[in-house]
Amino acid sequence: MGKRIRVKVIAKNADGQTPGLSDPTDLVTEPSSSPPPPPTGNSVPVSSLVAGDRLVVESVQFNPNPVTSTSTPIQVKIKITDNKGKLVRGAFVSIVSTPVRTSTPTAAPTDSNGIVIYSIQPRPDFLIKTGFSTQFYVKAYREGEPTLAGVSGGRLVQVATQG
């Protein structure tokens, strides 16, 4: 602490070599807060994705499945990857039933394992009938980007009902 840093580089080619020296940095000081712990899991930050990359709704798990009651919340576990198969942390995920027959949670970011978990409450008009399903639209996106552009991905999924 209290020191400056300079970097010396040497460029070499067939004609010889030339050293170069960077300008000194400002004084190195103690950070004002501890750095965040390194993420766990094998994931990449959503901020590292570039134009042309996509987010993939890799899996959606409902519990209970099938749904048998409108009084019991439905736990939904959603896993997000990129188009290269890597888990993505920090991607925002939204979920909504179609038609809207459940509570709609606020979009939340994926954790260091590319996962977000929601608790969704069925409304009284949620159809509980053997052989039927309720569909949900799941969207993953990078926060702050346009709705119809940017790094995103979506998927239509369903959960069975049994009455």
72-122 pLDDT per residue, tens: 999 999 999 999 999 999 999 999 999 999 999 999 999 999 999 999 999
Distance CA 57, CA 138 (A): 7
2-49 pLDDT per residue, tens: 777 777 777 778 888 888 777 777 777 766 555 555 545 578 999 999
Number of Cβ within 10 Å of residue 62's Cβ equals 18
Domain ranges of the chain: 43-161
Q: Enumerate residues 6+ apart whose C-beta is below 8 A from 40.
A: 112, 113
131-154 pLDDT per residue, tens: 999 999 999 999 998 877 789 999
The architecture CATH gives domain 43-161: Sandwich (2.60)
Q: Enumerate residues 6+ apart whose C-beta is below 8 A from 74.
A: 62, 63, 64, 67, 102, 119, 120, 121, 122, 159
